[in-house]
Amino acid sequence: MIMVVYVMLYLLIHYLIAALAKGTNFLVRTYASVFDFCAGRCRHNSESVVHENAYHSDYHHCFSLPSYSSGVSSTQLEFRLNGINVIVGRQGESCDSVCKSNGQSCVSNKILVLNHCDIIQKYMSCKGGCIESVGPDHPAEVAYNAPEELNPGACLYSSVQSILTCDGSHPHTMRLCPCA
């Protein structure tokens, strides 16, 4: 057991030294690949696999990243979006604005259906990963021109469902909107 701890510490120190040598801030940054993003969050649990080596998502290296899953599959969630046009808004736009510009209205009770990483990743690139956050502008993707501390390229889902609204917006995010 002690040997495992030493190996883990050695690997962590090696990673930190490499990051410092590159002149990068390893705590706040964007990542070149899914693996790089996940390497900094390497933990695991049984929720990462479907069966043996069949993983739930490309983010299987992020074993314990919360998926904000209620046990409902993404197929079941997508069924709840029947008749809904899912539209990615422009940076800083609210869902009310996004839907209105498409001649539709935002369907507020469907925001909760979109507030899952599996669903968000089907509509947005999420190159910075999928991160639990709190904000009325979720679900959303952080714009690539956002400050580094806001995790550019990351998709965000809210852990507090009660604050999700159609009129929420943020100057550095692009909303995922349910319109009808």
Q: Using an 8 Å Cβ cutoff, are 141 and 124 in contact?
A: yes
Cis status of the peptide bond prior to 139, with omega within 30 of 0: yes
User: What's the average model confidence in pLDDT over 82-107?
Assistant: 95
Residue 96 phi, psi (nearest 5) = -55, -45
pLDDT at 26 over 60: no
Of 22-26, 31-35, 129-133, 152-156, the one with minimum mean pLDDT is 22-26
pLDDT at 169 over 60: yes
pLDDT (0 to 100) of residue 69? 42
pLDDT at 78 over 70: yes
User: What's the average model confidence in pLDDT over 16-38?
Assistant: 58
Of 1-5, 36-40, 62-66, 121-125, the one with minimum mean pLDDT is 62-66
Nearest-angstrom CA–CA distance, 146 and 120: 19
pLDDT at 22 over 70: no
Beta strands (DSSP E) in the chain are: 49-51, 54-55, 85-88, 130-133, 140-142, 155-158, 173-179
pTM: 0.60
pLDDT at 87 over 60: yes
User: What's the average model confidence in pLDDT over 154-170?
Assistant: 92
pLDDT at 157 over 80: yes
User: What's the average model confidence in pLDDT over 34-46?
Assistant: 55
